[in-house]
A = this chain, B = another copy of it.
């Protein structure tokens, strides 16, 4: 039961698209991830997902529109909704999602990352 510094945790990894679990509560995970480039289109069958921008900005693509998220903004993507994060420059994002959530959802593929803890 210790305070966790987002800045310190983000400093501990460099890779993109590979969420790191930094806390768990009520069956949910708090994960930190760095985005850069274009991710894969996917959805999560049973999991809603929240994206909170800690530093930088990115675009979330949906099949019928897109929206930009900047530092201090969050977005909740409900289960079943196809989405694709795209970041022209590196962005630091905090995720809230069930511990069972896999980053690529239904899509799988090379960008699927193991769940690791920091």
Instruction: For the A-B complex with A4-B73, A25-B50 known, give 14 more contacts whose Cβ atoms are closer than 8 Å.
Output: A1-B81, A3-B68, A3-B69, A5-B73, A23-B50, A25-B49, A25-B97, A26-B28, A26-B48, A26-B98, A28-B28, A30-B74, A30-B76, A54-B72
A61 at the interface (CB under 8 A from B): no
Assembled-state Cα–Cα distance A43/B98 (Å):
23
A87 at the interface (CB under 8 A from B): no
Q: Min CB distance, A2 to chain B, in Å?
A: 7
Q: Min CB distance, A114 to chain B, in Å?
A: 22
Binary contact track A36-71/B, C-beta < 8 Å → 1, others 0:
000000000001111000100000001000011100
Assembled-state Cα–Cα distance A85/B6 (Å):
20
A96 touches B6 (CB 8 A): no
Contacts A28-B28, A30-B50, A67-B3 given: A23-B77 contact, CB under 8 Å? no
